Structure 1
Amino acid sequence: MPHELVVDLHTHSTVSDGTDTPSALVEAAAVAGLDVVALTDHDSTGGWAEAADAARRTGVALVRGTEISARADGVSVHLLSYLHDPEHPDLVRQNERVRTARTTRARRMVELLGEDYRLTWDDVLEQTSPGTTIGRPHIADALVAAGYLPDRSAAFASILHPGTRYYVPHYAPDALDAVRAVRAAGGVPVLAHPGAAARGKVVTARTIESLAGAGLVGLEVHHRDNGEDQRRRLLGLARSLGLCVTGSSDYHGAGKPNRLGENTTDPEVFALIEQQGRSTVIRQ
């Protein structure tokens, strides 16, 4: 009986808020028994080249992608873009603006935190690597390193929660514009963890229908942050709108409890994504 591909389409490296370098992440994917892994760092393609070298070395097929921060009807959403042209000007400008906004926001949050905690910008930088897209996870890591909290999850549930005075929002493009930009760049857009109610408000069926009309290809249904009720709702929406269904780990190394391969994507769905993308999957 032929081996069925094990496909994980959502992971993060040190280029954004993961703790594994791009090469170490691909190596970890090989150890975990994955056949295909997608590197989807936040608003950045900076880890693609290193991950591609590791993919050719290990034999794990690499889907090059990005997780784009966006907003839809006042709700924060994340859009996974697979196999797009990394030099497409609209997408490059969009990602650069978001990364700049993230840094400005992070600096302001550190200023506010510094009024009550012994925390500086240098403390946050110590938790990053060159080229990292700095965000709340790195502030969380700095708070953990300083002994204020036990881990990132505790930081996000308390000091860095959106309801506190330390939280500062950042610019994010409209989700419809983000979907259109991904399609213009030859990418395949999939809505990440759209039922993650514990993170805040989730997008409505009407919003997902609008995104589908703009070119959304799929929904990341099988994700640990989507509860069973949300999974059923999303599966129904996917069927009615003709969207594909993906499953992923959202692996961040030591930054989150998520483990590689804990949720996976059907090989036929992966084949569909590969067919639609402009860039190629990197293979040995």
Structure 2
Amino acid sequence: MKFIDLHVHSNASDGTYTPSQVVALAVEKGLSAMALTDHDTISGIPEAQAAAAGLPIEIIPGIEISCVYQGKEIHILGLYVNPDDQEFRAAAEGLRLIRDKRNETMMLRFQEAGMDLTLEEILEKNPGTVITRAHIARLLMEKGYVKTMDQAFRKYLDYGGPYCPPKEEITPEYAMKILANSKASPVLAHPYQYRLGDQKTEELVCYLTSLGLHGLEVYHSSNNQHESGKLKKLALKYGLFSAGGSDFHGDNKPDISIGSGRGGLRITSLLLDDIKEFRREKGL
């Protein structure tokens, strides 16, 4: 039996391993396929593909786009994006610039509160990286303002809190449009992490399906078996494929391992076969 992981991050965004190191870990785990899905960037994909050349693993080019639905941030994965598509590359750069603007506002708010934090410190340690809340959390920990990453998120980095304003709004419609234009497959990431409840989660899935959603992340490190079962039924109801991944971030989420999540995650390559068949039927 072969296994896969369709939700993985590198240090192109908020993971701690380079794309090459992530590929090496995936091969070490015996995975037959891996999707690199960094936040709002595809910059790590060429390195991952080069690292996998000649190795028994398929690299699926992906992205994870943050957008806002009814005032709440949700994430949409794009599987099989085209990293050579200039229009998509420009759209991804626009997403990064929106993040940069929010990051600048956050650091200004910390400084106004008398905290010795600068964006330059983060950029110096993470050149060429899309800066996320995880990078700011690590700086807060290094400067002694918090003891753990989790404490940083709870105390300072809640969305909409005094230090973490919402980003300029990216709509689901826009995220779905740029993914469709790139012939990627949009997938709603970790639906239960938004804490909408079953009814509103289904409303979200129904709405995104009307916009062209292809898949639902049924299997994820944060799901228990019962939750994955409910999401599987929801995917079948709306004609979506089931996707799954660990959401690996390296040392930023040390309890989550590539391919196995918190220990019990196992996603077979049969799921990827179904995704490929879905895309063939769509003419992709």
Partner of 1:66: 63
Give the distance between the partners of 2:57 and 2:84, measured in 1 at CA.
Answer: 24
Contact residue 195 and residue 227 of structure 1 kept, 8 A? no
Question: Is 1:103 aligned with 2:118?
Answer: no
1:226 aligned residue: 223
Tell me, yes or no, if the aligned pair for 2:61 and 2:83 is still in contact at 8 Å: no
> Are 1:249 and 1:264, in contact at CA under 8 Å, matched by a contact in 2?
no
Q: Assess if the C-alpha contact under 8 Å between 1:127 and 1:141 holds in 2.
A: no
Say if 1:46 and 1:166 are closer, same or farther in 2 by CA, change over 3 A: same
Q: 1: CA distance between counterparts of 2:90 and 2:184?
A: 16
Which structure is higher in RCO with an 8 Å CA cutoff and minimum separation 6?
A: 1
1:116 to 114, 126, 135: 114
Q: Which position in structure 2 is the counterpart of 1:137? A: 134
Task: Give a deviation string over 1:153-180, Cα, whole Å, max 9, x none.
Answer: 2211222123531111112422133223
Q: Note if 1:271 corresponds to 2:273.
A: yes
**1:193/1:37 CA distance change after superposition, 3 Å:** same
How many residues are aligned here? Answer: 271
Of 87-96 and 106-115, the range deviating more from structure 2: 87-96
Which amino acid is 2:171 matched to?
D
Per-residue deviation, 1:132: 0.6
Q: What are the equivalent positions in structure 2 for 1:158-237 lying under 5 Å apart? A: 158-162=155-159, 164-197=161-194, 201=196, 204-226=201-223, 230-237=227-234
Deviation of 1:246 after TM superposition, in Å, equals 1.8
Q: Structure 2: state its 5+ residue gaps.
A: none
Residue 180 to residue 14, structure 1, CA distance change in 2 (3 Å) = same
Letter in 2 for 1:165: P
Counterpart secondary structure, 2:53: helix
Give 1:23's aligned amino acid: S
Q: Which amino acid aligns with 1:251?
A: F
Q: Does 1:148 align with 2:150?
A: no
Secondary structure of 2:222's partner?
coil
Structure 2 distance, partners of 1:137, 1:236, is 33
Q: Which region of structure 1 is more displaced relative to structure 2, 93-102 or 226-235? A: 226-235
Instruction: Map 1:17-56 to 2 at 5 A.
Output: 17-56=14-53
Tell me, in whole angstroms, the C-alpha distance in 1 between the residues paired with 2:74 and 2:29: 29
CA distance 1:229–1:111, shift in 2 (3 Å): farther
Alignment-mate amino acid for residue 119 of structure 1: L
1:98–1:172 Cα contact (<8 Å) kept: no
Residue number in structure 2 paired with 1:282:
none
Q: Tell me, yes or no, if the aligned pair for 2:246 and 2:257 is still in contact at 8 Å.
A: yes
Report the alpha carbon displacement of residue 149 of structure 1 after superposing the two structures with TM. Answer: 2.1
Letter in 2 for 1:35: S
Deviation at 1:104, TM superposition (A): 1.1
Aligned-partner Cα distance in 2 for 1:123–1:265: 38
Give, as a single letter, the amino acid of the residue that structure 1 aligns with 2:256.
Answer: N
| Structure 1 stretches lacking a partner, 5+ long | 278-284
* Alpha-carbon distance, 1:238 to partner: 0.9
8 Å contact kept, 2:7–2:36: yes
- Alignment check: 8 A CA contact 1:9 1:264 kept: no
Query: How well do the aligned residues superpose, as a CA RMSD in angstroms?
Result: 2.1
Q: Percent identity?
A: 34
Q: Structure 1 pair 40/104, CA: closer, same or farther in 2 (3 Å)? A: same
Confirm or deny: 8 A CA contact 2:76 2:189 kept in the other structure.
Answer: yes
| TM-score normalised to structure 1 length | 0.87
- Cα distance per residue 1:184-224 (max 9 Å; x no partner): 21111111101114xx5476312211211222111112112
Q: Report the TM-score, using the length of structure 2 for normalisation.
A: 0.87
What is the CA–CA distance in structure 2 between the aligned matches of 1:267 and 1:19, rounded to whole Å? 26
Contact 1:194 1:226 (8 Å CA) reproduced: no
